[in-house]
Structure formats: C-alpha cells, structure tokens
Amino acid sequence: MASNGILEPFLGALQACVSVLLTLFWGLAARKMKLLKEQSINDLSGLGVKVFLPALLVVNLGSQLHLDTALDYIPVLVWSIVYTVLSILMSQVVTKILKLPPWVTPACAFNNTTSLPLFLMQSLESAGSLKLIIPEGSSMSDAVERSQSYFLVCAVISKVIAYAVGPKMLQDGDKGDDQDEESQRNGGDNQDAEPSEEQLDEETPLLPESVHKAGHKMVSPFKHGANYVFSLFPRRVKQELVSIDSPFVDTAILCALTGAVLGLVPSLHKAFFSPYDEGGIFNAWLTASVKNVGKLFTTSQVFVVGAKLGVSFERMRRSEGSGKVPKRAILTIFLIRLVVWPA
C-alpha cells in the first residue's frame, strides 16, 4: 500500500534533491580548501560543455531514437518550443509591468543548467522514486536514459532559441552600463593574461582552429536552411531575431543531427548501438568510449557549479559583486521558474 501512495516517492525525491545539493557542496568545499583554482574551474566547465555534453548528446539520442520511437519525440519538440516562447512572453509582460531589469526576461525564459535535471534523474533512479511511472516491461535504467534524451532535446531547442533572441533582449536594456561593467571586470581579471588569451571565454572552442572551421562547414547547410525559413517570416518578426552565431549552437545542432541520423538509419543504429554478436561492430569500442566521455558531464558539471559558487562567495566578500540585485527581480524569477511552471 505504501508503494501506491505519495510518501515513498516524496521521500525518494527528497533524497534525490539532497544528493544534488551535496554534490554542489563537495564542489564548494573543494574550492574552499583551495584544491581548485578559478582558471581550473573555468577549464572544467568549458570541457564539460564542449566535449562531455556533445558526447552525451550523440550517444544518448542515437541509442534512444529509432524508427519505432521517432514519433515520441514530436511532443517533446513541440513542448520545448511552446514552453520557451510562453516563458519569454510571460517574463516580458511581468518585466514591463514591474519595471524590472532587462536581464530578468532571459533569466526566466532560458534554462542554463542542463546538468542539474540529468543528475536529478540519476538520483531519482537510485532512490527508486520512478517505479510508479515506469511502463510495464521497461527497466528503470532504460526509463532514465529515455528521459535524459528528452531533456537533451529540450536543452538543444532552448539553447538555439536563447542564442537567437537572447542577445536582442539584452540589447534592449541599458547596453552602455553593461559594457562599462564588463570592461572594468575584464580589465581587473586579465591584467596578467597573455594578449592572445584576452578573448577567451566559455564559448571559445577547445578544438584547433582547423577542426572548428570544418565543423562550421558541416553545419553551415543547416544554418542556411534555417536562414531560409526565417526569410519566410514577416519583416517585423525578422527584425526581432538576430543571426545565430555561437560555437555552442553549432556543436549542439551538429551533435543532435548526428545522433538522429545514427538512431533513425537502421543499419547505423545496429552498427553503433547493438551488441557485437548482433552486428554492433562499433559498439564495444567506439560507442563505448564516447559513452564513457559523455557520462562525465552530469556529475562534473554539478560539481563545477558548486566550485563556481565558492568563487562567487569569495568575490562577494571582497566586494567585487555586480551591485545590488533587486529583490523583486529575484522573486519574479523564482516564482515563474519554480512555482508557475511546475504548477
């Protein structure tokens, strides 16, 4: 009887949340004990976004997506677009009514913590909270991998929309103050840096320039196709959109398309994801290696977020914060993201 009630899944979800918070705490403790330098934290974060996440995206989406399950992803695609668009509209209305800073809109609309829901699903699996919603004949590990593939698809859609309209949102705000603040911060942080490293940020590709250019060439046909679709919109709509030019978006689109092709083409799906004795000639060595790299994303990114919190606390103690954040802005973000949408 207890398994059919709400107490057991509630306690399991509570344990899963505590597991996520403790992982954040371990990263915070590592920074507190000076085991990680700030540059090392940034390097780990960039490595996760540019290497671990693409590997996870290719393997997870490719293994879960095949001809029998392709239609299951249509509601996920539709919902991810609807959710993001409604979030933008809702946050814009609230921002204008309450006269909040322009950064509140993208903060409410876009989720930049892809690793947290993925890690939470792993914790829910350990706590056994997913038993009540797993279909007959499906194992918990299969359900977790399937749900993670849904999360990854939503993340790609959200990131593409974010890089398409996010800069426009921020440009509508007080651009002058933001540029002055950024220049002061970068000037203080990069006094001892090499000239060639001054332009490095979390979007700078880790791969050599030749590989980066090759990736641009591979994804450019899809970007041209997207530009053609955008050209069909009214002129007013096109003016509100900006061109998508981000290494992350290029990589995300390329990896998503690669995973979709590997999953939907039966011969490729068999070669990359079936057991070796069933024709999976690439599964045991190539797919397994990429999968091992992808598994590093969730835990490492949550750990890095905790370490970044430690860096933020240190800057606050040194009075190096970005100024006073309006309480109404924080309350609005929490209400929209943690109350309105969950309800």
What is the predicted pLDDT for the residue at 197?
Answer: 40
Report the alpha-carbon distance of residue 326 to residue 317 in Å, rounded.
Answer: 19
DSSP 133: G
Question: pLDDT category, 341, cuts 50, 70, 90?
Answer: confident
Tens of pLDDT along 150-169? Answer: 888 888 888 888 777 766 66
Report how far apart the first and last C-alpha atoms of the chain are (Å, whole number).
27
Q: Is 54 exposed, middle or buried (0-12, 13-18, 19+ CB in 10 A)?
A: buried
Contacting residues for 134 by C-beta, under 8 A, at least 6 apart: 140, 143
Tens of pLDDT along 165-189? Answer: 766 666 665 454 444 455 555 554 4
- Give the closest residue to 67 by CA, choosing from 291, 261, 211, 231: 261
**Helix, strand, or coil (residue 108):** helix
Tens of pLDDT along 241-293? Answer: 444 455 566 777 888 889 889 999 999 999 999 888 888 899 889 999 999 99
Q: Do the Cβ atoms of 48 and 297 come closer than 8 Å?
A: yes
Give the burial string for 15-52 (b: 16+ CB within 10 Å, else e).
ebeebbeebbbebbebbeeeebeeeebbebbbbbbbbb
- Give the closest residue to 330 by CA, choosing from 104, 98, 89: 104
Maximum alpha-carbon separation in the chain: 66
How many degrees, rounded to 5, is the angle at CA 109 between CA 203 and CA 176? 60
How many degrees, rounded to 5, is the angle at CA 63 between CA 58 and CA 65? 95
Contacting residues for 156 by C-beta, under 8 A, at least 6 apart: 57, 252, 253, 256
Q: Do the Cβ atoms of 311 and 31 come closer than 8 Å?
A: yes
Q: Do the Cβ atoms of 291 and 59 come closer than 8 Å?
A: yes
> Considering the chain, what percentage of its residues have pLDDT values greater than 70?
73
Tens of pLDDT along 42-72? Answer: 999 888 888 898 899 899 988 888 888 888 8
Mean of the per-residue pLDDT values for the chain? Answer: 77
DSSP characters for 61-90? Answer: HHHH--TTTGGGHHHHHHHHHHHHHHHHHH
What is the predicted pLDDT for the residue at 304?
Answer: 92
Q: Do the Cβ atoms of 241 and 165 come closer than 8 Å?
A: yes
